[in-house]
Amino acid sequence: MPAPYSNDLRKRIIESKLKGIPESPIAADKNVHKSTITKLWALYRETGSYEPRPNPNCRKPVLSTEQLENVRNIIIDSPDITLRELIERHSLPIGISGLCKIVKKLGFRYKKTLYSSEQQREYVKIEREEYTARQPEMETNNLIFIDESSSNTGMTRQYGRALDGERVVDYAPAVRFERITMLSSVCANGEIVPCIFKGSLNGEIFREYITKFLAPTLKPGDIVVMDNLCSHKVKGVAEAINMVYDKENCCNFTVMIKNNLYFFNKLQN
């Protein structure tokens, strides 16, 4: 069954009829059949409305308007509630798949971002404020960021699409826990100090990278920024960075990023 014409078009047709315009010119102007105008005019004279009649054969909504509003409010108050919990706790007469469609129509999407609870600690807030206050004093060209990434040499896509009753079949090498790690620093001018090695990063490798690769490239006033990884906090890392220019009394300093909030691990002016 075709969908009814929009209320905007129906309204304009009725307005033309009320002005006394014949049906044939209206049909040509609005690009509709003359019989449509006749039926719409009869509906308007009978009910006083140009909106389509409700379809008696149409399925009634599973949830009432009040229940839909309750579902909306519940999700707003408890955004991580599961659909099963929503159905069981509030006795909704609907299945999980049906409720999933309704929740999507209400505009909700299944997503959540987690932040470390340490962000709410008072000392972390203070350290963040201190770091923010120092930012205007930092020279962009002196910022050096360190990060790492890795890949499995046997990496294969785990999922694929197939027709009903069939399964995607693929082959992967029998390689387990063989990783290639890429460790590098990068600064605003694009200069990098990369290091690629087999296996995963640990404190000993990271200290060696800092001592042999990064420290010799540092200049007076450089600020080395790294995240709060255990391997980054081993003894000797910050010392290697700060001892480069000790003889000239012009030390660098390191910045540790913790819980997505910045705080200073060691400061030397």
pLDDT at 232 over 70: yes
- pLDDT attached to residue 258: 44
Whole-angstrom Cα distance, residue 215 to residue 244?
A: 7
Q: Which residue has the higher pLDDT, 131 or 183?
A: 183
Tell me the per-residue pLDDT of 72-83, one tens digit each, with 9 for 90 and over: 999 999 888 999
Whole-angstrom Cα distance, residue 208 to residue 153?
A: 24
Is the overall model pTM greater than 0.75, yes or no? Answer: no
pLDDT at 247 over 60: no
Q: Which residue has the higher pLDDT, 251 or 126?
A: 126
- pLDDT attached to residue 73: 92
pLDDT at 113 over 70: yes
- Who contacts 156 (Cβ-Cβ below 8 Å, separation ≥6)? 170, 172
Q: Which residue has the higher pLDDT, 240 or 149?
A: 149
Q: How many residues does the chain have?
A: 269
Q: Nearest 5 degrees, angle CA 237-CA 238-CA 242?
A: 125
Kindly state the average pLDDT of the residues 152-173: 79
Tell me the per-residue pLDDT of 3-61, one tens digit each, with 9 for 90 and over: 778 888 889 899 998 999 998 988 888 888 989 999 999 989 888 888 887 766 666 77
pLDDT at 260 over 60: no
Question: Considering the chain, what percentage of its residues have pLDDT values greater than 90?
Answer: 10
The mean of the pLDDT values for the chain is 81
The pLDDT confidence band at residue 122, using thresholds 50, 70 and 90, is confident
Kindly state the average pLDDT of the residues 169-180: 74
- Who contacts 154 (Cβ-Cβ below 8 Å, separation ≥6)? 172, 173, 174, 175, 176, 178
- pLDDT attached to residue 226: 83
Kindly state the average pLDDT of the residues 141-159: 81
Q: Of 234, 226, 247, 179, which is closest to residue 208 (Cα–Cα)?
A: 234
